[in-house]
Chain A
């Protein structure tokens, strides 16, 4: 029997452009396979949500983590205050990625 958890994934600051122009995804993932934020990013988001990964992977990932210039938030908290990639996902977590803006 599968052990699913529900998550809300958001792509802000223009990052939605590499996720089919959708800013929010309500998803259910198998918690036996997707346990940590690292699992979510590399085994779900990159495989299921990222559009044209051959072109867009480097806009999202660099050096095996989220690329510089993108902030990652777990329930509106900077992931550096949590366990970053090792954060253990909980049911109904909100995971947000936002590109840092520079214009003015």
Chain B
């Protein structure tokens, strides 16, 4: 444990050390609280990028980064600690390089793994405070349960589209945990993600910056057991920017993770031997609704339908992506009809509605269905076959993006 600052550190952190009114401690002691802190961020993406940058800049002594993804082109608009030259590099390695360039005083530990039941305890045990910057309910429940069992404060942020949320969980082992707020997981169809629903980089970035501010309050003991009140911040970027602070409930007595009166509480053994199955608990969308013989590969599509298509081709091609997705990139061919899945479902087998989009379709038509990744097209195939009775409907495995990858790389992928 450090008990002093070097001259370089005093000059580096001086501007934050002279801010008054945050604490009655000596400014050097306040800075030493950061220098002696060990935090770990789960995820090195849109939230973590600015959060990590500010916390490293502020002089947090040890920072762990858990992420097994590599930097992709589609990350760069929001994940600003990575860069174009680092595409293909592990995100945790790229993040480490960024942190060390910014502040060589920070010790960085990288974990190029996915957080699981089997590694969460071992990783979390090496740190004081956990920052959840992930993107699925599965990891949020897991990280909360493990943080409670290890007695660590968890600072949890999330965002999608133009909005974000931020909360401090299991604060000093007295505050509510994720399960206190959400005893039941949301149904899988109601969970949105940045890749499917989009995200404005500046909006998620702002939430990451706010996460850094909350982390400083926890590490510098500006929050304490007497003044901490459970809350959730809700940020909205558009139209008028707003930040709301919701007063939240405290611990739930019957919470199976942290509740003092709960029976059959979750234990370390139950997590580590897989008895608590977060994937099952949270569920997933079931796209497995078409048989193999109802599907074709992108190469079969190209060979059988697309390459030699002619004016007499009566095959009907449908792309079920949302219209704003379709408008960014498509086959650019009038034989294709864009009917978003939600619209197709809402027709409820009304042929008039279907024919308003595709005039010459009937039950004997040959139909080929595309979507972005080959998931929603499977649901659409069921609608066309079961609701409309169009027996000769084919789903294209892997969808439009797979076609781009395997057949025609000249089409833009978003």
Contact = CB atoms under 8 A, between A and B. Distances in A.
Contacts of A14: 160-161, 163, 192, 197
Interface in A70-104: 70-71, 73, 76-78, 80-81, 96, 98-104
Interface string A6-19: 00000011100000
A99 B190 CA distance: 9
A76 B229 CA distance: 14
Given A12-B234, A14-B192, A103 B197 contact: yes
A58 B187 CA distance: 10
B194 interface: yes
Contact of A103 (B183, B193, B244, B345): B193
Interface stretch (A30-38, A39-47, A61-69): A61-69
Interface string B191-211: 111100101000010000000
A9 to B, nearest CB: 15
Contact of A78 (B45, B47, B247): B247
A83 B136 CA distance: 30
A62 to B, nearest CB: 7
A77 B246 CA distance: 5
Contacts of A101: 158-160, 163-165, 192
B379 interface: no
A96 B204 CA distance: 22
Contact of B165 (A67, A68, A100): A100
A76 to B, nearest CB: 5
A67 B192 contact: no
Contact of B160 (A71, A81, A102): A102
A55 B158 CA distance: 27
B247 A55 contact: no
A103 B192 CA distance: 7
B140 A76 contact: no
A69 B137 CA distance: 10
Given A69-B187, A76-B246, A100 B159 contact: no
A5 interface: no
A68 B247 CA distance: 19
A61 B140 CA distance: 23
Interface residues of A, number: 28
B179 to A, nearest CB: 11
B393 interface: no
Contact of B158 (A59, A70, A73, A104): A104
Nearest to B47: A104
A52 B161 CA distance: 23
B249 A80 contact: yes
A72 to B, nearest CB: 10
Contacts of A59: 189-190
B165 A13 contact: yes
Contacts of B346: 52, 55
Given A67-B190, A69-B187, A104 B246 contact: no
B184 A81 contact: no
A67 B184 CA distance: 9
A104 B159 contact: yes
Contacts of A76: 244-247
Contact of B187 (A67, A78, A81, A103): A67
Closest 6 CB pairs of A and B: A69-B186, A103-B160, A68-B184, A101-B158, A103-B194, A80-B249
24 contacts: A13-B165, A13-B234, A58-B187, A69-B185, A69-B186, A69-B187, A69-B190, A71-B181, A71-B246, A76-B244, A98-B234, A100-B182, A101-B192, A102-B134, A102-B135, A102-B160, A102-B192, A103-B46, A103-B158, A103-B159, A103-B192, A103-B204, A104-B159, A104-B204
Given A76-B244, A98-B234, 14 more contacts: A12-B234, A14-B160, A23-B236, A62-B187, A69-B182, A69-B191, A78-B246, A98-B165, A100-B165, A101-B158, A102-B160, A103-B46, A103-B158, A103-B159
Interface of A: 12-14, 23, 52, 55, 58-59, 62, 67-71, 73, 76-78, 80-81, 96, 98-104
